[in-house]
Amino acid sequence: MALTKDEVLAGLAELINDETGIATDSVELDKSFTDDLDIDSISMMTIVVNAEEKFDVKIPDEEVKNLTTVGDAVTYIVNAQS
């Protein structure tokens, strides 16, 4: 069954915490991966690959470049599930 937006956000926050140590409650929809969370491109790709496995979705390289905010990633994953 597809996860809700809040469930994907919570799961993504856990992945970000695992990779970077950023507190899960700091991972909010309007936060920019680079400007607000200071996540570099290599960590971003690790999070993406782990998200693919966790949420059973495909996130192509060309889409990763469009994922500027946490909200972008959550929306993409929710849509990709359906």
- The residues that touch other proteins, with contacts defined as CB under 8 A, are 40-42, 44-46, 48-49, 61, 64-65
**Catalytic residue (choose from 6, 38, 40, 56):** 40
Cα 80 to Cα 82: distance, rounded to the nearest angstrom: 6
Smallest separation (angstroms) from other proteins to the CB of 34 = 12
Cα 11 to Cα 16: distance, rounded to the nearest angstrom: 9
Which one, 43 or 75, has the nearer CB to other proteins?
A: 43
- Residue in 61, 58, 49 with CA at minimum distance from that of residue 19: 49
Smallest separation (angstroms) from other proteins to the CB of 20 = 12
Smallest separation (angstroms) from other proteins to the CB of 4 = 28
Cα 73 to Cα 59: distance, rounded to the nearest angstrom: 9
Q: Using the 8-state DSSP alphabet, how is residue 2 labeled?
A: P
Which one, 10 or 72, has the nearer CB to other proteins?
A: 72
